[in-house]
Amino acid sequence: MNVAAIAAMSAPLSPTLRRRLERAARAAAKSSYAPYSGFPVGAAVLTDSGKIFAGCNVENAAYPLGNCAERTAIYAAIAAGERRIRACVVYTPTAAPTMPCGGCRQVINEFGPDALIVSVCDSAQHAETVLSALLPDAFGPANLGQRRQGRKP
C-alpha cells in the first residue's frame, strides 16, 4: 500500500461522520431506480469541505445509460462545486457488502485517489478499504499532465 493510502487510513472518519454517511447511503437506496436489475444501491460521499452528497443507481431502458449510485453521488458533489472526495460509503440491501464497480473506482480516483471506501449491507458484515487498494497504479489526471508537459510547443 502506498504512503498516501496509509495516511488516509491513519485519519479515519469520526464515528459521527461515518454514521451520517451510512445513513445517507441507506436513505438514497430508497430512491434507486433499478427496474431492470432489481439491485438497488445507495451511496454517500464526504467532500473535503465536510459536506455529504448522496446518490442512487438510475437505470435506463437503454441499458448502457444506467448510472451507478457512487457516480450519482459524486456528480452531485461536483455540480455543487466540490472537487475532493474524502470518503465514499456504499449500501446494498444484501447479505454481503458490495464494492464499487470498476468504472466507479476510476471516477472516485479522479476526485479522491486516497478516499476511504466503506461498504455496508443488511447484515453486520462490512468492508473498509481505500481507493488506491481497489485501483492500484490508477490512470489519472497526472498522466495527462505528463503528456502535456512532454508535448512540443
Q: Which residues are catalytic?
A: 70
Contact 86, 46 (CB under 8 A): yes
Minimum distance, C-beta of residue 63 to ligand THU, in the bound complex (Å): 9
Q: Which is nearer to ligand THU, 70 or 114 (CB)?
A: 70
How big is the CA angle at 92 (ends 86 and 98), to the nearest 5 degrees?
Answer: 70
Minimum distance, C-beta of residue 61 to ligand THU, in the bound complex (Å): 13
Minimum distance, C-beta of residue 84 to ligand THU, in the bound complex (Å): 20
Q: Which is nearer to ligand THU, 68 or 121 (CB)?
A: 68
Following DSSP, what letter does each residue of 80-141 receive, concatenated?
A: TT---EEEEEEE-SSSS--PPPHHHHHHHHHH-TT-EEEEE-SSS-EEEEEHHHHSTT---H
Contact 116, 98 (CB under 8 A): no
Q: Which is nearer to ligand THU, 3 or 35 (CB)?
A: 35
Interface positions with ligand THU (CB under 6 A): 34, 37, 39, 41, 57, 59, 66, 68-70, 100-101, 104
| Set of cell numbers at residue 67 | 448510472
Pairing of strands 42-47, 85-91: antiparallel
